Structure 1
Amino acid sequence: FLDLRMPEIDGFGVLAELRAQDLAMPIIVLSAVTQRESVVKAFKSGAKSYLVKPLKPDQILRKTLEILKANF
């Protein structure tokens, strides 16, 4: 999971770094940011899913299992 708002580097910077290192791990963005541009940018940057906070634990678990089944 990756939040877009972090103190030292934003989530887009992290996504770019992961892509630059050619790491093929599935990333789920979990963020309070709801702007369409941010969601689209996250997917274009390599995110496999985008969840908007706040979430219930069962929603997070369901999405995690979905992504794991699709990628492993």
Structure 2
Amino acid sequence: MSQAPFGALVAALAALATALGFLAIELRADGYEQYVGSVNNASVVLYVAAIMVGVAWARDRRLRSG
């Protein structure tokens, strides 16, 4: 079985979280304050998911190396 594409998933999640962060900045600048909190929360959730996948990647590599 080949190794799961953890790196690509971490990069994709982090990129999406960054894009949502910039969207929140644009929404605030355009006056859509009611949506900024939700977009910020989604961005933080995606960053946390990227970190968790990164931790899973590190643990998987450690288990396969021994």
Scaled by the length of structure 2, what TM-score is found?
A: 0.32
Report the structure, 1 or 2, having the larger helix content: 2
Report the structure, 1 or 2, having the larger strand content: 1
Point out the structure with max Rg over C-alpha: 2
